Structure 1
Amino acid sequence: MTRIGGDLVVETLRALGAHTVFGLPGQHALGLFDALRRSELRLVSARVENNLAFAADGHARVSGEVTPFVCSTGPGALLTLASLQEARESSVPVLGISSQVPVAGLGGGRHGYLHELPDQQASFREVVKSVHVARTASQIPGALRDAWVSASTVPCGPVWVEIPQDVLLAPVSLPPITALTVPSRPLEPLPDLIAEASRQLADASNPVILAGGGVVRAGAQEELLALAESLRAPVLSTFGGKGAFPWEHSLSGQSWLEDWHCTEFLADADVLLVLGSGLGELSSNYHRFCPRGRVIQIEADAGKLESNHAALGIHADVKLALAALSVPRREPDGRAETAVAGLLSRVRDRLAGQDLGREQQLLANVRAAVPEDMPTFWDMTILGYWAWSAWPGALHSAQGAGGLGFAFPAALGASVHGPALAVSGDGGAMYGLAELATAVQHRLDVTWLIVDDGGYGILREYLTGAFGETTATELARPDFVALAHSFGVPAIRSTVDDMQADLAKALATPGPAVVVLPTTLRMFAPTHLEH
């Protein structure tokens, strides 16, 4: 058979190391999808483009690999923007590949093509890490290689590639692409800055470490543990940094970052080492954090260095920087452990005074039902907000951009590698219901816990707290159990008392499943102890 431009795309992706592609066909992308049909790549479809991109995001998070998705021009492409924003904010290496109108319609040429945008690239340029275009067949391998390198280079992030319809369909004379070298570009720290950071940490009397998502993305957990134990330094984790440090370690201050006790604990450090975090809104208690000592910030994204607080900023991969730090090992004297125990005691006392035992027990029951190594994906829902602070380990959530509808499609993408759990509220669940068909079609082992409180629960709390009443938060919604059954997905309506057993059973049964929990949860109130 005559090879076409679509074959060049597939061959290049294979040569770069891709094994799975997420895709939703469209008129301008026919050449690409026919090539996928004839290839060895696994194609996982979706029903809506934003969910398609979320699925690629979830797959990339659990695999650690650049994950491609392919879609059509115009409306299909634009639907991926919110998902790509999440991938960008969370540094996830997603490779979006879109078709385009024929070459004659680009750059001010002919107009009136179906799906045509005046400048499709412009819609993506400020959302993704980089944009790449191939207008001839010979440009396809280089454009995809450059995009792959961009996506996988620290700081990782989503990238965008556009290829016109006629280029994807036209016969090609280039030989088959079988091998591509992807250059490694390690982001090493400057030695002088590492020496100064080592000196400041060695001289500190009350060092504290804040571990962000960059620790997890860099795989620097062992290096962080070694440094913390050498310094006898307490470690708190951002919501994105969950899993960076052992939850029950005697130096672990855990991740109650919306608690003013934790905010002050960080501010009291004479040297605060911030790893892989820009100290943004959620990590700084809504920008109320005000450090009183020195700050050392190690961050792969140069734009985040000192963007919120003055610091000794080190632009580097966290793993490489931690390996380069040299501090003398301190003998344990119990001071750091006592300080951490006191902090967590104050947090527990605050929660105990708010009658939130039901919420805490529910989250503990979810944790007990989920196998230790199973990835979990959380929507922007009250139980997900609890998990940010109280879930004792790694999790994936949409806190980067904060959009609804992330959990279920992202878990679908992750389940290509193995079983996964998604947790949504009834509002967020409505974004992804169509993907129940995807789960059935591809026999994906994903369990979906839907906490149904009849509305946008967290917005209900926010509006009531601010104005005394709500607007547009109460929702008509389907019978989720009956709806899941209509797709052929096993589903059960559970109770707070039975949820742990029902969820454990669903997780232990291969294939998709839905557990619906009708209940209304409350968020904990933040402390306000500002001086």
Structure 2
Amino acid sequence: MTHDHDLVLRPTPAQTEAALNPPPGRTGGDLVVETLAGLGASTVFGLPGQHALGLFDALRRSDLRYVGLRVENNAGFAADAYGRVTGEVAPLFLSTGPGALTSLSALQEAAAASAPVLTIVSQVPVAGLGGGRHGYLHELRDQQAAFRDVVKSVHTVRTQSQIPSAIAAAWESALSAPHGPVYVEIPQDVLLAEATLPQVTAVDAGPHELVPRPELTAVAADLLAKAERPVIIAGGGVVRADAAGKLRALAEKVNAPVVCTFGGKGAFPWEHPLSLQSWMEDRHVTDFLEDADVLLVVGSGLGELSSNYHTFAPRGRVIQIEADAGKLESNHPALGIHADARLALQALVETVGERPDEKAPARVAEVLNAVRERIASQELTLEQDVLASVRAALPPKSPSFWDMTILAYWAWSAWPGPLHSAQGAGGLGYGFPAALGAAVADPTTPVLAVSGDGGALYSIAELATAKQESLNVTWLIVDDGGYGILREYMNDTFGQATATELTRPDYVALAESFGVPAVRTSPEKLREDLVAALAAPGPSVVVLPALLRMFAPTHLG
């Protein structure tokens, strides 16, 4: 009997030739880059270091593009964004000890946002592993332990023959739902030693499909078809699974209103008659969701930001579709369906019966009108005008990346379309380096980054990267003199703020010192200045001095 996989195991003549006649001067580092190229990688992010030099020397002999950032954490944010916008694995090369550890908060964000980052980290020589006693520079007792609680999977290499399999396994893990960052550890001497193994010419590491169980989708379809007031919450899993079309087909078939979480923005059309948009922190929306007799949650764990700070208490039956098994029913009892969002939604669309409901659009409009009236009563014209100016200036296909800043908090609820932010883990410094990663992925489209003056200082060094790589990123820095959102929180809670006021540089002069054009703008000129900056090739900075306020925290009401 002949099996299909038997054919895969036979090398082609070209593969045989390459295996029998490898080029001279190859090392373990070459096995790494050969494996990545064989898996389909085209770009590597990172920062060199003493124990990782074998990796970086091998890049010189490969066709992979290397984009070097100035801080490891920022390199991680850039790789995260590259993975988010392409859906492909983003390799990240780091050195041992301090270099590796500096990336951890970026990898925490990648894990929270399910971004497929393949982190390849060097180690001290094999003889020095496991003790912390040998006095090697950068030595840790157990480096991988520092990553184990952050990444999706850990893969260790101790010999060159393990390199292709370890990287392939990590690649497969990163791309299998739920996507996430992974860690591969390779000692310095393994990377530097001469490679006697043949060239890596073919690697198979396709992701596993996470298919829903049919008896569960049958029950879910029956519940939705018979519901009186069904509602859908669409999370980031819908976006990552490229399932927006399936979601819309299901919502229209059962006439269910849809609200997108902050991470799920773009999963459903903003102006659709069934769209509740993204006002997840608004009590009117929370009440509407609680009143649903059947609530379908797709690609969300209903965590803090997606549950109005855990004040959301559904009264009806909950159906939860989630690729991360640990998030199933983690916050609310549900009919839990462990599956990729696209496959589960496809099963529901094919199974569920039509559910007519002419009143659903009117109920949606009533909720949105109540939200608008609440915002209008709070005298927040400046904030709404600034956000509208940014939206109007951004070309339709341009992605935007937002740091943890007041304008981003507004955008989570009010921005009419997809955006990328650090709301998964909530660390500062995400916006600008992430935007650089997106610009690497698509050099033809300008990218917008938005930061506050506090968060900007986390990633200011990457102006050098933007200039060196000629990346088309415009960085909007909203300068309010400190950590604006923390100032608000402390004033609201304690009556005064502590440790929130900052001495800042002249951001315009600082950007220009890097050779990056910059302008100081005003709310009235913001749109005009952003349009000009985004239209110009290469990086640019727009500084907006403004004191913005958040809308009232209705989750306390």
| 1:496 corresponds to which of 517, 523, 530 | 523
Greater CA deviation, 181-190 or 215-224? 181-190
- Name the aligned partner's letter for residue 443 of structure 1: S
> Once the 2 structures are TM-superposed, how far is the Cα of residue 331 of structure 1 from its aligned partner?
3.5
- The equivalent residue for 2:463 is 436
Structure 1's consecutive aligned runs of 4 or more residues displaced over 4 angstroms after TM superposition are none
| 2:306 corresponds to which of 262, 275, 283 | 283
Supply the distance in 2 between the matched residues of 1:453 and 1:527 (Cα, whole angstroms): 24
Contact 1:260 1:526 in 2 (8 A): no
| 2:203 corresponds to which of 141, 156, 180 | 180
Say which SS state the counterpart of residue 67 (structure 2) adopts.
Answer: strand
1:194-225 superposed Cα distances (whole Å, 9 cap, x missing partner): 10001101110110000000000000000000
| 2:489 corresponds to which of 457, 462, 478 | 462
- The equivalent residue for 1:50 is 73
1:108-160 superposed Cα distances (whole Å, 9 cap, x missing partner): 38610000001001000011001111111101001100110110100010000
Supply the distance in 1 between the matched residues of 2:79 and 2:179 (Cα, whole angstroms): 14
- The equivalent residue for 1:10 is 33
- Name the aligned partner's letter for residue 355 of structure 2: R
After superposition, residues 216-365 of structure 1 pair within 5 angstroms as 216-325=239-348, 326-333=351-358, 335-365=359-389
> Once the 2 structures are TM-superposed, how far is the Cα of residue 332 of structure 1 from its aligned partner?
4.9
Gaps of 5+ in 2: 1-23
Say which SS state the counterpart of residue 283 (structure 1) adopts.
Answer: helix
Contact 2:281 2:555 in 1 (8 A): no
1:147–1:173: structure 2 CA closer, same or farther, 3 Å change rule?
same
Supply the distance in 2 between the matched residues of 1:198 and 1:250 (Cα, whole angstroms): 22
Contact 2:400 2:447 in 1 (8 A): yes
Supply the distance in 1 between the matched residues of 2:488 and 2:554 (Cα, whole angstroms): 16
> Once the 2 structures are TM-superposed, how far is the Cα of residue 183 of structure 1 from its aligned partner?
3.2
Say which SS state the counterpart of residue 303 (structure 2) adopts.
Answer: coil
- The equivalent residue for 2:222 is 199
Structure 1 residue 19 corresponds to structure 2 residue 42: yes
Structure 1 residue 67 corresponds to structure 2 residue 90: yes
Supply the distance in 2 between the matched residues of 1:294 and 1:226 (Cα, whole angstroms): 21
Say which SS state the counterpart of residue 91 (structure 2) adopts.
Answer: strand
1:174-197 superposed Cα distances (whole Å, 9 cap, x missing partner): 110011111341100001001000
After superposition, residues 383-422 of structure 1 pair within 5 angstroms as 383-416=407-440, 417-418=442-443, 419-422=446-449
Say which SS state the counterpart of residue 253 (structure 1) adopts.
Answer: coil
1:251–1:63: structure 2 CA closer, same or farther, 3 Å change rule?
same
Structure 1 residue 214 corresponds to structure 2 residue 241: no
Supply the distance in 1 between the matched residues of 2:206 and 2:385 (Cα, whole angstroms): 48
- Name the aligned partner's letter for residue 403 of structure 2: D
| 1:36 corresponds to which of 56, 59, 66 | 59
1:469-488 superposed Cα distances (whole Å, 9 cap, x missing partner): 01000000100000000000
- Name the aligned partner's letter for residue 197 of structure 1: A
| 1:512 corresponds to which of 512, 528, 539 | 539
Contact 2:311 2:555 in 1 (8 A): no
Structure 1 residue 129 corresponds to structure 2 residue 152: yes
- The equivalent residue for 1:102 is 125
Supply the distance in 2 between the matched residues of 1:76 and 1:184 (Cα, whole angstroms): 29
- The equivalent residue for 1:452 is 479
> Once the 2 structures are TM-superposed, how far is the Cα of residue 491 of structure 1 from its aligned partner?
0.2
Supply the distance in 2 between the matched residues of 1:6 and 1:527 (Cα, whole angstroms): 54
Greater CA deviation, 221-230 or 414-423? 414-423
- Name the aligned partner's letter for residue 451 of structure 1: V
| 2:140 corresponds to which of 111, 117, 123 | 117
> Once the 2 structures are TM-superposed, how far is the Cα of residue 2 of structure 1 from its aligned partner?
1.5
Supply the distance in 1 between the matched residues of 2:213 and 2:517 (Cα, whole angstroms): 55
Supply the distance in 1 between the matched residues of 2:262 and 2:25 (Cα, whole angstroms): 51
> Once the 2 structures are TM-superposed, how far is the Cα of residue 527 of structure 1 from its aligned partner?
2.6
| 1:76 corresponds to which of 84, 96, 99 | 99
> Once the 2 structures are TM-superposed, how far is the Cα of residue 529 of structure 1 from its aligned partner?
8.0
Supply the distance in 1 between the matched residues of 2:527 and 2:256 (Cα, whole angstroms): 36
Contact 1:104 1:110 in 2 (8 A): no
- The equivalent residue for 2:5 is none
| 2:453 corresponds to which of 426, 450, 458 | 426
1:394-431 superposed Cα distances (whole Å, 9 cap, x missing partner): 00000000000000000001101232110000000000
Say which SS state the counterpart of residue 382 (structure 2) adopts.
Answer: helix
Supply the distance in 1 between the matched residues of 2:259 and 2:30 (Cα, whole angstroms): 48
Supply the distance in 2 between the matched residues of 1:370 and 1:398 (Cα, whole angstroms): 20
Supply the distance in 1 between the matched residues of 2:418 and 2:256 (Cα, whole angstroms): 21
Contact 1:232 1:332 in 2 (8 A): yes
Say which SS state the counterpart of residue 31 (structure 1) adopts.
Answer: helix
| 1:475 corresponds to which of 489, 502, 506 | 502
Supply the distance in 2 between the matched residues of 1:82 and 1:107 (Cα, whole angstroms): 24
Supply the distance in 1 between the matched residues of 2:536 and 2:504 (Cα, whole angstroms): 27
Supply the distance in 2 between the matched residues of 1:331 and 1:49 (Cα, whole angstroms): 53
1:55-103 superposed Cα distances (whole Å, 9 cap, x missing partner): 1001111111000010110000000000000000110000111110000
- The equivalent residue for 2:400 is 376
Say which SS state the counterpart of residue 521 (structure 1) adopts.
Answer: coil
Q: Percent identity?
A: 69
Contact 2:132 2:140 in 1 (8 A): no
Say which SS state the counterpart of residue 449 (structure 2) adopts.
Answer: strand
Contact 2:132 2:141 in 1 (8 A): no
Supply the distance in 1 between the matched residues of 2:400 and 2:487 (Cα, whole angstroms): 25
Contact 2:173 2:207 in 1 (8 A): no
Supply the distance in 2 between the matched residues of 1:59 and 1:183 (Cα, whole angstroms): 19
Q: What is the TM-score of this pair, normalised by structure 1? A: 0.99
1:255–1:109: structure 2 CA closer, same or farther, 3 Å change rule?
closer
- Name the aligned partner's letter for residue 382 of structure 1: I
> Once the 2 structures are TM-superposed, how far is the Cα of residue 464 of structure 1 from its aligned partner?
0.2
Gaps of 5+ in 1: none
Contact 1:221 1:245 in 2 (8 A): yes
